[in-house]
Structure 1
Amino acid sequence: MAAILSPSRALSEERLSLGRLLALGLQHVLVMYAGTVAVPLVVGGALNLPKDQLAYLINADLFAAGLITLIQALGFWKFGIRMPVMMGVTFAAVSPMIAIGANPEVGLLGIYGAVIVAGLFGIVVAPLMGRLLGLFPPVVTGTVIALIGMSLLGVAINWAAGGQPSVTAMVDGVAHQTANPGYGELGNLAVAAVVLAVVLILTKYGRGLIANIAVLIGLVVGTVAAAGLGKVHVDGLSEVAWMSVVTPLHFGMPVFDASAIVSMCIVMLITLVESTGMFLALADITGKKLSTEDLTRGLRADGLGTVIGGVFNTFPYTSFSQNVGLVTVTGVRSRYVAAAGGLILIALGLFPKMAHIVASVPQFVLGGAGIVMFGMVAATGVRILGTVDFERCRHNLFIVAISIGFGMMPTLAPTFFQHFPAWMGAITHSGIVLGTLVAVLLNLYYNGMQSRELAFAQAAATSHGAE
């Protein structure tokens, strides 16, 4: 088998020792954990769910994320892109889901009904999306990947500072925004700087496994430092059950509401656009030549993952961009590392005590590593743009400039689209989605639709540049 694989393909199929797989898989889980549990925390909190139901949402989310990651990384029948992809709940669905759940006629079960139908819709349209590779030449993919990194840097910066600049407090039943007094504390910034320094030192001087798990070691050192400052809390660990079984349809039979389904299908289309950019980014990083069928299988797995999410009491899933950056930092391209991460996520979902311990890693510790990883994603986009011909095709400058401008609007001016219809929130609240749509449309306007042959040739050239 190895003799007929290209070098990049062989690297993606590399089999590692059990110890390395577990260490590298745990590193992926730690990187994505905060983002993985954020959506159920936000949605459950917005819907005022009791603490036990909120805890169950988190366990279900971890379990489903692990199961879908296994399908995406290892492949199952016609599902799965078979690359080092970690799956988590998409943030694009948060606002629509809160709006659906707040409707007393449908509630939480209405969310699950809409999610299940949207997942089936995603499976059906995946082959069409897979044939639209010509919409994503290097000028588009480079712009989108750079936008992904730049958008995520804001998350890493807030993590490093200890959370969000403002917090919501309830006063006489009314929500008020107040400044977060702990934001930017010198202790938080110092620990984040320690994590960053450890990663930089190990990526330069480390060898073998040590270099590969530089981020994980940085997180461990940062957590120990935070514990020394008294900022790591595992309160309530003794009260958490050792094992919790995640059962399908735990909250009851889904409710299928037409307007809710339409809104979630729109989110599904946006998720497929985001995933297309992620898969192209990962193909560039790993050096894999991505075919139409590969892309279709990956997008089809997004749809299947969303169906699984609805059945197992959680939400729509997509590939996590944080972990794309981690693949870049470590240089480990084996899809079996992602599969190991999927197994760890399943274990975290089944054993709440483990999840409770991992959840105790402070955000400012994650921030130190996030600055490295998310910056690497942006740098990958810049490198891809370096292959674009801006001299003979000056219009490409307009594509990049305007797309980045639109893509940064939700980040730099969060209220810019506040008077737009609520149903457009899934587009206007995501800089990645907005920038991607603008880049695709401008590329069509200036350059037209590429032939499939040229699209694959450019994808191959970009992959070669990643080696």
Structure 2
Amino acid sequence: MTATAAPASTRPPVHPVDEVLPAPQLAIYGIQHVLAFYAGAVIVPILLASAIKLSTPDLIHLINADLFTCGIASIIQSIGFWKVGVRLPLLQGVTFTAVAPMISIGVSHGGGVNGLLYIYGSVLIAGLFTLAIAPFFGKLIRFFPPVVTGSVITIIGLSLLPVAAGDAVMNPLTGRSEPSNGRWILYAIGTVLLIVAIQRIFRGFIATVAVLIGLIVGTVIAWSLGDAKFSDVGSSHIVGVTTPFHFGTPKFAVAAIISMIIVMLITAVETTGDVFATGEIVEKRVGGEDVTRALRADGLATVIGGVLNSFPYTCFAENVGLVRLTRIKSRYVVAAAGGFMIILGLLPKAGAVVAGIPSPVLGGAGLAMFATVAVVGIQTLTKVDFNDHRNVIIVASSLGLATFVTAQPDVAKSLPDSLQVFLGSGITIGSIAAFVLYIVFFHLGSGLGPAVAGAPGHLVRLEQVNEMTQEEFVQTFGSLFQGPSWMVERAFGQRPFSDSRDLRQAFQEALFAATSAEQVELVNAYPRLGQALGGDAPVESLEDQGTRGLTHLGEQDQSDLDELTAAYEEQFGFPLVICVRDEGSFDDLIRHGWVRMRNSSVQEHNIALVEIAKIAGYRFDRLVADANPINSARVRAY
């Protein structure tokens, strides 16, 4: 009997991230990424060359080397090999975090080419350091829950908006900021309006290249009115190849190396935020190994940058916004963009054409793209339990510090040169603040173990949980479930608990090991979704349903929900139980409920138990703080 190939219909569907689009689409979408990225890519060498007094030919070589290496780095990150590259549509660029430290290193070593060689020495070592720590940083993924990643993603978007705003009011002919000139504002706003109009009027391919069309139309209009110049095209060389160590053998200094290592640690946090943001956008689960692969790509690209006369690399947040705006999720589009950047890095004339896009037009496109990054962060923050005041403090403090530094960038000068990197950008200080505050609020303690949050000043520790009577245990944890208390009573029998995870699993095991009759009794104890909760109804039900606004619906939404829940109860004989915190929106919840109407009674019985377990999990997270993972004498001393 010969084996036959499986029918095509049985093959697993290709995730949009891994879809290889037709060549014309790859080209168009790739060019769009390059145009959105280009200004941010060349600004770092321009700022550095000006600060350390490099010649114009040296600057041109830096720009070519930057674009060439950006292309290589983007292909490594998006396509990947072995355990390097996250294989998401993430484009690589030189990190802005490194600008101030690199200028400091270059100036402190005499400026010019000599200062540049010390920069390259520190870049090489920092890249190798990032490669070495990538596996360990990936294991820290549990310290990046939605409250941290959502804050970082929102900060990235908000911190980039002033960059776009600065371009929007810049005279494209002189490079000076002229916020009172309505001509530049009209270019910027006109670009935004054109992008919005295309998104609203058109569907399919045209809508996905709205940013590219906006850039092209805006540039053509500006050129026709004399506000775009392409004079550099004629004076540029046709071909320019960057060679390894073009400026000479790198030089090494301990202070410079430490400074650049700090930069790479900070960009590792930013890269983690970008990876999670892109994962959210393309709807692909991101884990610790993904972060590790992304950081390995950052490290390798930074080493390549040190060899090929470029700088430290990280995932470019600007293009995360473009992925969100266009909804084109294929990583091969970014790889195509990488190919175009390699070509641009070899063709200075082609780069000069792209450089001719007027700043106000670029700024207008940036306003649209960067704002979408912030929206992704806000979407992530909707998963955060803001009934827990600790989360409010983390988000508010990190956003506040990021906004402060973004609005007042000169505050970095209040610190010694070696520490200015921490206040070098709003993204840097905001990301660090979110991460550190999460550790402080959720993981640092007095060494007494996890605490049950009853009320401030009246916390119950794990040791105390293990010493409770059954009555005390039920009173403390009975609110995890509705109705009967047998699950909590049986979980009590599994003492002692070694940590909060052990305690959580005890409740789950009690739930799924119950008899069918007991499980039916439990399911029937849950209130109907959207019903008015009052009297002696548990406050937990009000909080659960309130997270998605089910306790104060409009008339039409209430009618839609009542129709669904009534039909469900009539068909299955028990209430519809859904963990509403996992639903993206009210419409998603309604759609999910009607889909479940197609299931059998046995399947719905089991699904209801799973949903009850999810609800209990969220309630448990509110009730019990995580155990302290940093169990050292030094921490306990605090």
Residues 171 and 184 in structure 2, CA contact (< 8 A), matched pair in contact too: no
Correspondence 1:406 to 2:401: yes
Q: Which of 424, 427, 433 pairs up with 2:422?
A: 427
Query: What residue is the counterpart of 2:458 in the other structure?
Result: none
Q: Which of 209, 216, 222 pairs up with 1:220?
A: 216
Query: What residue is the counterpart of 1:359 in the other structure?
Result: 355
Structure 2 letter corresponding to 1:292? G
Correspondence 1:252 to 2:248: yes
Change (3 A) 1:4 1:439: farther
Query: What residue is the counterpart of 2:128 in the other structure?
Result: 120
Correspondence 1:279 to 2:257: no
Query: What residue is the counterpart of 1:230 in the other structure?
Result: 226
Change (3 A) 1:462 1:14: farther
Correspondence 1:388 to 2:384: yes
Q: Which of 80, 91, 96 pairs up with 1:75?
A: 80
Write out per-residue CA displacement over residues 402-430 of structure 1, whole angstroms, 9 at most, x where no aligned residue. 11111112112223343212111111112
SS of aligned partner of 1:132: helix
Query: What residue is the counterpart of 2:156 in the other structure?
Result: 148
Change (3 A) 1:464 1:101: farther
SS of aligned partner of 1:318: strand
Correspondence 1:104 to 2:109: yes
What RMSD, in angstroms, separates the aligned Cα atoms of the two structures? 2.5
User: Counterparts of 2:236 and 2:581 in 1: how far apart (Å)?
Assistant: 49
Write out per-residue CA displacement over residues 121-180 of structure 1, whole angstroms, 9 at most, x where no aligned residue. 00000111111111111111111111111111101111111269x98xxxxxxxxxxxx4
Q: CA deviation at 1:368?
A: 1.1
User: Counterparts of 1:237 and 1:381 in 2: how far apart (Å)?
Assistant: 40
User: Counterparts of 2:154 and 2:80 in 1: how far apart (Å)?
Assistant: 28
User: Counterparts of 1:433 and 1:143 in 2: how far apart (Å)?
Assistant: 12
TM-score by length of 1: 0.91
Structure 2 letter corresponding to 1:151? S
Residues 171 and 177 in structure 2, CA contact (< 8 A), matched pair in contact too: no
Q: CA deviation at 1:463?
A: 10
* Structure 1 unaligned spans of 5+: 168-179, 455-460
Query: What residue is the counterpart of 2:625 in the other structure?
Result: none
Residues 414 and 429 in structure 1, CA contact (< 8 A), matched pair in contact too: yes
Correspondence 1:293 to 2:289: yes
User: Counterparts of 1:56 and 1:464 in 2: how far apart (Å)?
Assistant: 51
User: Counterparts of 2:146 and 2:108 in 1: how far apart (Å)?
Assistant: 43
Structure 2 letter corresponding to 1:413? Q
Percent identity, aligned pairs only, is: 44
Write out per-residue CA displacement over residues 222-263 of structure 1, whole angstroms, 9 at most, x where no aligned residue. 001111210111113222111111111111111111111111
Correspondence 1:349 to 2:357: no
Query: What residue is the counterpart of 1:170 in the other structure?
Result: none
Structure 2 letter corresponding to 1:139? V
Q: CA deviation at 1:182?
A: 3.4
Query: What residue is the counterpart of 1:11 in the other structure?
Result: 16
Structure 2 letter corresponding to 1:115? V
TM-score by length of 2: 0.67
User: Counterparts of 1:150 and 1:126 in 2: how far apart (Å)?
Assistant: 27
Write out per-residue CA displacement over residues 328-373 of structure 1, whole angstroms, 9 at most, x where no aligned residue. 0000000000001000100000011100000000110011111111
User: Counterparts of 2:357 and 2:410 in 1: how far apart (Å)?
Assistant: 32
Q: Which of 443, 446, 450 pairs up with 2:441?
A: 446
Change (3 A) 1:464 1:319: farther
Judge which range, 327-336 or 397-406, deviates more.
397-406
* Structure 2 unaligned spans of 5+: 1-7, 445-449, 451-498, 503-579, 589-638
Number of residue pairs matched by the alignment: 445
Query: What residue is the counterpart of 2:206 in the other structure?
Result: 210
Q: Taking CA–CA contacts closer than 8 Å with sequence separation of 6 or more, which of the two structures ends up with the larger relative contact order?
A: 1
